[in-house]
Structure 1
Amino acid sequence: MVTGASGGVGRAVVRELGAQGAKVALIARGTAGLGAAAVDVGTEGGTGQVYEADVADYDQVREAAERIETEMGPISVWINTAFSSVFAKFTDIEPAEFARTTDVTYLGYVWGTKVALELMGPRNAGAIVQTGSALSHRGIPLQSAYCGAKHAVKGFTESVRTELLADRSNIGITLVQLPAVNTPQFEWVLSKLRRHPQPVPPIYQPEVAARAIVYAAEHPERKEYWVGASTVATLLAQRVAPALVDRYLAKTGIQSQQTDEKAPSGVSNLWKPADESADYGAHGTFDGRSHTRSPQVWLSQHRRPVLLTLAGGAAAAAVAAYRRFKRS
């Protein structure tokens, strides 16, 4: 089950699942996007079925999930990717806009997780994947609503994870922290900027994120997966020199998130779907600047073997140095 399945990362995820022959339930609001996404799943070799729902509404999510279990069978994997936001300075965001972003981007994950656990709990089996962001570790200008929601998702997920561990549950929950991704979000997220919003490089294609998310669904025992060099750099910078990061972002963060090439699209999916009558697909308009692979995904998936190898190499070097010292 994938929320936000009609476009962007969610769209790439359902394609990846389809290629594995999976039965995929797709939740979103946009009719055109959902229909095209279901076709994609079938074309890749899986089975896709659409369920229109607003993830900000618990009752709608619960009703959709019950229909899925009746029509498609027990949900074994629940993947939360749906979000919306506002590109603007905090002082320019209306209270209702901030609340709506929080309802979709944070509470959408809360309600999805709650429903997933309600259904998976009696079976004591399943996996929940939260699509996170490097911005859950480091807030940036013009994205206060989104950053706040992603920070909340991280804290919420860590809390639920510890409760599941305390209960010795066989249900796994994990986070996949994403970098800047080339998705339609820069075309359809509400913008109050004078220039068109853009991702901060390095930018990755949504398929990179999708592969990491599907892998995480198969291995939910790990707390967190990282995608992209920028995600790792964000984590390190925030730990080593947070004050310098603040000053750097204050100086560069506003300009670097806007392009001189065009004005904002004027489209917004905050209150209603942008893909009700038009399909936006998985990719945004930054294909020429986007990476198709991420070494950090491999490192994130193989952290323990890599750390053991590095430790073993360091130990071997220390032994060799000691032997040379004794011979000298």
Structure 2
Amino acid sequence: MPLTLRRLPEQVMVITGATSGIGLTTARMAAAQGARLVLAARAGDALDELAGELRARGAEVATVTADVGVPGDVERIGQAGIERFGRIDTWVNNAGISIFGRLEDISPEDHHRLFQTNFWGVVNGSLEAVKRMKTRGGGAIINIGSEVSDRAVPLQGMYSASKHAVKAFTDSLRMELEKEGAPLSVTLIKPAAIDTMFAVHARNYMDKEPALPPPIYAPEIVAEAILHAAQTPKRDLFVGGGSAAISAGARLMPRVLDYFMRGTMFKQQRSPVPTRPGRRDALYKPNPEDELRQRQGMPQRVHERSLYTSASMRSTALKTALVGGGALLAAFTLSRRLAR
């Protein structure tokens, strides 16, 4: 079957992790452009509030309270889309969580829980999407990876591992579907650091509150990339030139990047603020106080646009040139910092 993706106003779109950050931003943006939505998250009250907000603006919305790490919950998401709208055109596997701390300090239970959400949530969602979409006209499966899909970082080791696993699964699924000629586009989105509730939601084993290393980008840039991939087949998309540069550096000079990250990332991922006593996170259950917020409000500069991402969504040749330029820039920057 030929691969033809519908225009957004004609689409039914599933978004997991829809009540904060990238998922929330994407849901609001997709609704504004006329998509019909199936929104899923663990926070049922926040889902209801979001659905009410979007319906007041004229959007058609179905909601499913679900944990993406539970296959039965993900099956209910797919069933809700079919029962309410008759089909699903795009499935966005966005739900995710992190843990900050040294790998040896983190409990096995927490390691497993992170993988249950970040990796198995994507597996569950992707396979459910294939089942629901392959014989109903096809569409787009969009998985949210990370700049650490290509390059691991210290203090978020298991998060990095889960995003590496997401990349491998996504690439394998894409090849298998292409081999059989299935009418499905499979895209991996790889954002750089994004100003969302990511650090607030993360479990923290450090004595300081988590922080994200610059450059930091706005969640709207990720949402724009997701909505682009929903309408235009893309293999993968970097969000932020910083993400592309890190990926290029990982390929071209991995050992230099080791030295650079060892010298910078331990400091950059620790804020000056001591970890709060009784700090809450969202590893096992949502924190109602932090729902329905697109951004944390980073003290660092947040880039509201990305020339690299905008260009890569429009021109493959320009994207290639920018990746090469980014790699050279990364090499120059790293060499200067290491020389200091």
* TM-score (norm: length of structure 1): 0.89
Check 1:305–1:204 CA distance in 2 against 1; reply closer, same or farther (3 A cut): same
Q: Runs of 5+ in structure 1 lacking a partner?
A: 311-328
Distance 1:307 1:284, change over 3 A: closer
Give the match's secondary structure for 2:213.
Answer: coil
CA distance in 2, matches of 1:15, 1:161: 28
Counterpart of 2:180 (choices 153, 167, 172) is 167
User: Which of 284, 287, 303 is matched with 1:291 structurally?
Assistant: 303
Which residue in 2 is equivalent to 1:326? none
Alignment of 1:89-100 (within 5 A): 89-100=102-113
Q: Does 1:272 align with 2:289?
A: no
CA distance change for structure 1 residues 13 and 141 in 2, over 3 Å: closer, same or farther?
same
Q: Identity of aligned pairs, percent?
A: 30
Q: C-alpha distance in 2, partners of 1:209/1:7? A: 13
Aligned counterpart for 1:227 among listed residues 226, 239, 243: 239
Confirm or deny: 8 A CA contact 2:308 2:319 kept in the other structure: no
**Secondary structure of the corresponding residue to residue 123 of structure 1:** coil
Residue 129 (1) aligns with residue 181 (2): no
Aligned twin of 2:337: none
Alignment of 1:237 onto 2:249: yes
Q: 1:3 aligns with which of 16, 37, 44?
A: 16
Deviations 1:41-71 (A, max 9, x none): 3355422222100000111110221122112
CA RMSD of aligned residues (A): 1.9
1:173-220: CA deviations, max 9, x gaps? 11111000011121121111111111111101111111111111111x
Number of matched residues? 308
Deviation at 1:263, TM superposition (A): 2.9
Give the 3-state SS of the residue equivalent to 2:84 in structure 1. Answer: helix
Larger Rg: 1
CA–CA distance in structure 2, aligned partners of residues 158 and 172 of structure 1: 11
When structure 1 is superposed on structure 2, of 227-236 and 45-54 the one drifting more is 45-54
How high is the TM-score relative to the length of structure 2?
0.86
Q: After TM superposition, where is structure 1 displaced by more than 6 Å over at least 4 residues in a row?
A: 307-310
Q: Distance in 2 between matches of 1:175 and 1:37?
A: 26
Distance in 2 of aligned mates of 1:201 and 1:307? 22
Structure 2 CA distance for partners of 1:243 and 1:10, relative to 1, 3 Å: same
Which consecutive residues of structure 2, in runs of 5 or more, have no partner in the other structure? Answer: 1-13, 323-340
For each residue in 1:242-295, what CA deviation from the matched residue of structure 2 results, as whole angstroms up to 9, or x when unmatched? 1010111112111101111453581111111123x6534111121662111111
